[in-house]
Amino acid sequence: MSYSDLIEITGRVNDFLNAGSVLSWDARTMMPPGGGESRSKQLATLAVAARNLLCSDEMKRAQEGAEAECAGMPEDSPEARIVAQVRTAIDYHERIPPALLRRKTELGSAAQQLWAEAREKAAFDLFAPALSEMVEINREMAQAIGFDGHPYDALMYRFEPGTTQDGLTKLFARLREGMIPLVRAIAEADQPRADFLYRDFEPEAQLRFALSMAERIGYDTERGRLDTTVHPFEVSFTRDDVRITTRVYKNFLPAALFGALHEAGHAMYEQGVDTAYTRTPLATDLVSLYAVGGVSFGAHESQSRLWENHVGRSRAFWANHMGDLRAAYPERLDDVSEEEFFRAVNRSEPSFIRVESDELTYDFHIMVRCELEARMVDGSLEVDDLPDAWNAAMKDYLGVDVPDDARGVLQDVHWSSGQIGTFCNYTIGNIMAAQLFDSATTQNPGIQRALDGADYTPLRTWLTENVARHGRRFSRDELLQKATGRPLDPEPYLTYLTSKFSDLYALA
Long-range contacts, stretch 168-174, CB < 8 angstroms, 24+ apart? 168/370, 168/424, 171/427, 171/431, 171/490, 172/363, 172/367, 172/370, 172/427, 174/490, 174/494
Q: Which is nearest to 431 in space by CA: 338, 506, 359?
A: 359
Other beta carbons within 10 angstroms of residue 457's beta carbon come to: 11
Asked if residues 449 and 144 have their Cβ atoms less than 8 Å apart, the reply is: no
Dihedral sign, CA of 356, 420, 477, 77? Answer: negative
Tell me whether residue 263 is one of the annotated catalytic residues. Answer: yes
Return d(Cα 500, Cα 368) in angstroms, integer: 24
Taken as a whole, the chain contains a residue count of 508
Other beta carbons within 10 angstroms of residue 135's beta carbon come to: 21
Return d(Cα 427, Cα 114) in angstroms, integer: 28
Q: Could you say which of 263, 270, 301, 371 is catalytic?
A: 263
3-state helix, strand, coil in the chain (%, to 5): 65, 5, 30
- DSSP secondary structure code for residue 307 in this structure: I
Asked if residues 51 and 93 have their Cβ atoms less than 8 Å apart, the reply is: yes
Dihedral sign, CA of 438, 443, 447, 452? Answer: positive
- Give the phi and the psi of residue 96 in degrees, each rounded to 5: -105, 120
The set of catalytic residues is 263
